[in-house]
């Protein structure tokens, strides 16, 4: 079932449905805060994935969440790609700190609302049982939400400095399932997702590098089938451009955005 | 000496993985432990990137869902405290 929008007595937040598709949400009041459990056991909004598992959020008691850490525990969520039965398990602890917003007083311009947060994790893992392999991830991102009634956009950018670069671009790093150290950066255009487009990537650029291998992969998100930008309306399939570079070898092509 | 031979054997297998361009020989690299320089085919590289991006989006969704619930909690709390405006 979809979660009900909050009844706020005339202050009804435009509530995005997509992250909550077919979930069951329970809230327990704890001493000093709240424990919110999002239970997945159904297809996601796109109908392409089956999700099973819990995401537990520990929210400390506070009237203003700016600067207060919020713990998200992703508990062995099983993700099954329905098209071919491919399975992955996602585990990890994520800490979220709202740098700005997240409280009612910050929403005085309703129906406009926004908030910024930092997201960090040092123990994300994605396990692939078919090959008995796993990836290990670290996350360090800055995310900004901007809303207007039922429209909500999410902008993600890196928050970790790379070397002596003046602007933080690293969003994630770790080792892939082949044991190779990788880094994901968002160096130029921030990654944008929109709730009304099923959280598909609407815009942005990502770069994955394997420094020890001299391999670089550039991803341009939210393009048309011919690779041109801007991309199509969200009712249409969204594509992304994949560019591989290793030494003198370079090739590039455009493909539909993967569901998983 | 025996230990050194074992290490050498593992190294040879690892080198074989590089030469074969894949890791489908029954030895499974892992995301944990020391970094490797395993080379995979460009097709496998592309599949890997698709999986990572899809997973990145999925994890982003969990965090978004959690953030929305957090926002709901604080706004409901404010409403209960009589701090919500009525229109």
Q: Using one digit for the tens of pLDDT, what is the confidence trace for A101-116?
A: 655 445 555 556 677 8
Cis peptide before A230 (omega within 30 of 0): yes
Average pLDDT over residues A10-34: 62
Kind of pairing between the strands at A49-60 and A23-30: unpaired
The answer, yes or no, to whether residue B68 has pLDDT greater than 90, is: no
Set of chain A residues whose Cβ sits within 8 Å of the Cβ of B35: 175, 179-181, 212
- Continuous segment of H or E residues that includes residue A36: strand A33-43
Count of C-beta atoms within a 10 Å radius of residue A228: 11
Compare all CA atoms of chain B with the CA of A191 and give the residue at the minimum distance: B57
Q: Using one digit for the tens of pLDDT, what is the confidence trace for A69-98?
A: 889 999 999 999 888 898 999 999 999 888
A38 in Cβ contact with A53 (< 8 Å): no
Q: Using one digit for the tens of pLDDT, what is the confidence trace for A179-212?
A: 999 999 999 888 988 877 877 888 899 999 999 9
- Residue A99's pLDDT band (boundaries 50, 70, 90)? confident
Q: At A159, give phi and psi (nearest 5°).
A: -135, 5
DSSP lists the bridge partners of residue A146 as A114, A153
Q: Enumerate the domain spans of chain B.
A: 1-26+36-40, 42-87
Q: Determine the Cα–Cα distance for residues A241 and A231; give it in Å rounded to an integer.
A: 11
Set of chain B residues whose Cβ sits within 8 Å of the Cβ of A143: 63, 67
* C-beta atoms of B49 and A8 within 8 A: no
Q: Could you give the 3-state DSSP secondary structure of residue A115?
A: strand
The answer, yes or no, to whether residue B77 has pLDDT greater than 80, is: no
The answer, yes or no, to whether residue A250 has pLDDT greater than 90, is: yes
* C-beta atoms of A13 and B29 within 8 A: no
User: Would you state the pLDDT for residue A118?
Assistant: 92
Q: Enumerate the domain spans of chain A.
A: 18-256
Burial code of B35-58, b = ≥16 C-beta within 10 A, e = fewer? bbebbbeeeebbebbbbbbbbbbb
Average pLDDT over residues A24-29: 82
Residue predicted with more confidence, B9 or B60: B60
The answer, yes or no, to whether residue A33 has pLDDT greater than 80, is: no
Compare all CA atoms of chain A with the CA of B26 and give the residue at the minimum distance: A131
Q: Which of A123, A203, A113 is CA-nearest to residue A156?
A: A203
Q: Using one digit for the tens of pLDDT, what is the confidence trace for A60-70?
A: 776 566 677 88
Compare all CA atoms of chain B with the CA of A207 and give the residue at the minimum distance: B49
Mean pLDDT, chain A, integer = 82
Whether complex ipTM tops 0.85? no
Interface mutation vs chain B, best among A3, A17, A19, most B CBs within 10 Å: A19
Q: Using one digit for the tens of pLDDT, what is the confidence trace for B25-41?
A: 334 456 667 888 888 89
């Amino acid at each position: 079932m979809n979660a009900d929008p909050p009844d706020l007595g005339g202050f009804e937040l435009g509530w995005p449905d997509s992250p909550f598709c077919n979930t069951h949400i329970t809230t327990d009041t704890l001493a000093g805060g709240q424990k919110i459990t999002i239970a997945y056991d159904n297809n996601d909004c796109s109908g392409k994935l089956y999700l099973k598992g819990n995401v537990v959020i520990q929210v400390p008691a506070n009237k203003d969440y700016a600067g207060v850490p919020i713990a998200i525990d992703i508990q062995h969520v099983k993700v099954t790609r329905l098209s071919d039965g491919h399975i992955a398990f996602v585990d990890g602890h994520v800490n979220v700190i709202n740098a700005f917003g997240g409280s009612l007083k910050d929403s005085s311009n309703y129906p406009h609302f926004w908030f910024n947060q930092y997201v960090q994790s040092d123990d994300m893992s994605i396990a692939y049982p078919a090959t008995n392999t796993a990836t290990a991830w670290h996350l360090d991102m800055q995310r900004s939400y901007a809303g207007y009634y039922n429209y909500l956009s999410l902008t993600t950018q890196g928050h970790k400095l790379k070397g002596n670069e003046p602007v933080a671009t690293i969003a994630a790093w770790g080792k892939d399932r082949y044991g190779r150290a990788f880094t994901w950066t968002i160096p130029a255009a921030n990654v944008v997702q929109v709730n009304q487009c099923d959280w598909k990537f609407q815009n942005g650029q990502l770069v994955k590098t394997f420094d020890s291998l001299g391999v670089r992969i550039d991803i341009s998100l939210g393009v048309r089938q011919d690779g041109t930008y801007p991309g199509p309306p969200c009712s249409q399939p969204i594509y992304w451009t994949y560019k591989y570079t290793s030494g003198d070898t370079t090739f590039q092509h455009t493909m539909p955005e993967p569901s998983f | 000496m025996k230990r050194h031979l074992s290490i050498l054997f593992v190294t040879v297998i690892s080198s074989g993985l590089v030469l074969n361009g894949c890791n489908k020989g029954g030895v499974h690299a892992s995301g944990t432990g020391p970094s490797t320089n395993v080379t995979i085919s460009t097709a496998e590289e592309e599949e890997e990137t698709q999986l990572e991006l899809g997973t990145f989006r999925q994890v982003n969704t969990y965090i978004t869902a959690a953030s929305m619930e957090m926002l709901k909690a604080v706004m409901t709390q404010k409403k209960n405290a009589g701090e919500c405006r009525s229109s």
